[in-house]
Amino acid sequence: MLFSSMTFIYVFLPVVCSIYLLVRNELKNHVLLLASLVFYAWGEPKYLAIMIATILINYIFAILIEKADKDVKKETFLAIFINKKLFLTLCITANLSILCYFKYFNFLAENINLLFKTNVDFIKVIMPIGISFYTFQSISYVMDVYRGESAQKDMYKLALYIALFPQLIAGPIVKYHEISAQIESRSVNFSTLSYGIKRFIIGLSKKMLIANTFGEIADKVFASNPDSFSPQIAWLGAICYTLQIYFDFSGYSDMAIGLGAIFGFKFPENFNYPYISKTITEFWRRWHISLSSWFREYLYIPLGGNRKGNRRTYLNLFLVFLATGVWHGAAWNFVIWGIYNGFFVIIERLFKLNKDTQTRPLYQVGLLHIYCILAFIIGWVIFRSPDLEYAISYISNMFFCLDYTEEPYILEYYISALNALLLVFALIVCLPVFKNTLYRSENSTFLSVAVNICTYILLIISTAQIAGSTYNPFIYFRF
């Protein structure tokens, strides 16, 4: 692990924030870069070399892309043979090669052995933490330079963009054109500082109080044989994981956005109450927004988007969601999960289910909500399961199991009365009922002050739980 939670909250963050706020403006980027490199190297220094190599590759190729573009405009002879598209292709290939080796080598080797019934030994490759996120940010940078952004001549500033620690490990994925101006110049005032602290606290509380609680229940259910418990327990495990992954990941995003605000950055929002969606298409506009927008901007649109007819549009959607599944992990259940989501998006587009939902009758909107909730809960079962066989067995148990083998797999074994109350609270928080109070930066109203006080109390409870618990990483650390 990179940092223990105690070290990160009580030592690293206060030291970095204090130094950052005290130094001159021209030194702030250097402080953040150094802190980011230390943060990443804390757990395993050798993986820092991979990140530095990624930074160097993208720094060099971006400059070559920009130069090749200028050579084309000058109509030089060399530009006929060496153009910016060649450099872009080489750079993306280099980025994806590094990612594929560390993330997918084991998966490919295991499946080759299964396919050809061989037993070839191979060295297990350990995946560097956060490599999926900083690789996509690197590709964003060279793509933006290819499209006309100026290449970053200051390597330290490019390194800061790729390695910036608040969102390095699990996003949000920040595209270069969204943040390039902020790397050059930004400011911190009392409003952004207080907002950042408050947002960080909210994210930490989501993780420690809600996500971890439901994670314990979900882990207990998913650790059991699906044939050994009742459909009620199967649904409980699925719902608890559905809540766990939302509060875990959105909690990390809140923490990252809050830390970014403390340092003067404005990171994009990564969640917009996805569980109120009426279609899976809408769900993906609200869930992991930075990844969805990345795929739309750098894969879907370059493939042709919806500009080349319906068949090509459906193929492009399929490829995007296949890539989404593969990006999430090197296992067949992730591949199937991506295809599963793509299937619903294509069907919704084909039958225009995602159009004019505001004008539909109330009963139709209700039915769409129910359909969407069922679809993403089943999707999370596929996502959470250790393999496809387990996922199929689990989902079958949710709907068709009339007999189960073991007792006492009763509800009280998994969930207490206190957890049941927390379940109700979590379901309410999934709705945008607190939207106008939780993230408001001004503190002038009585309600804002009350929310702030409650937030600080949650921080005390959260940190107390951290002190008394074992290390419990965020779910998206694995990706």
What are the DSSP calls for 157-199, one per residue? HHHHHHH-GGGTTT-PPPPHHHHHHHHH-----HHHHHHHHHH
What DSSP state is assigned to residue 276? G
Place of tokens 């044989």: 225
Cα radius of gyration (the chain) = 24
**CA 376 centroid distance within chain:** 16
Distance CA 326, CA 215 (A): 24
Distance CA 294, CA 141 (A): 12
Distance CA 105, CA 111 (A): 10
With b for 16 or more beta-carbon neighbours within 10 A and e for fewer, the 22-58 pattern comes to eeeeeebbebbbebbbebbebeeeebbebbeebbebb
Told to judge if 177 belongs to the known catalytic residues of this protein, a careful annotator would answer no
Distance CA 113, CA 119 (A): 6
Long-range pairs, 158-162, Cβ under 8 A, ≥24: 158/55, 158/58, 158/59, 158/62, 159/33, 159/52, 159/55, 160/29, 160/32, 160/33, 160/36, 161/137, 162/51, 162/54, 162/55, 162/58, 162/134, 162/137, 162/138
Distance CA 412, CA 416 (A): 6
User: Which of 177, 288, 328, 369 is the catalytic position?
Assistant: 328
Which phi and psi angles does 252 have, rounded to 5°?
A: -60, -45
Distance CA 127, CA 254 (A): 25
Which phi and psi angles does 129 have, rounded to 5°?
A: -65, 140
Under 8 Å CB-to-CB from 82, ≥6 apart: which residues? 68, 71
Distance CA 286, CA 294 (A): 14
Task: Name the H helices within 287-416.
Answer: 289-295, 310-328, 332-350, 362-384, 388-400, 411-414
Angle at 456 between CA 452 and CA 461, to 5 degrees: 145
180, 212, 244, 274, 385 from 218: Cα distances, Å: 40, 10, 8, 20, 11
Task: List residues with catalytic annotation.
Answer: 328
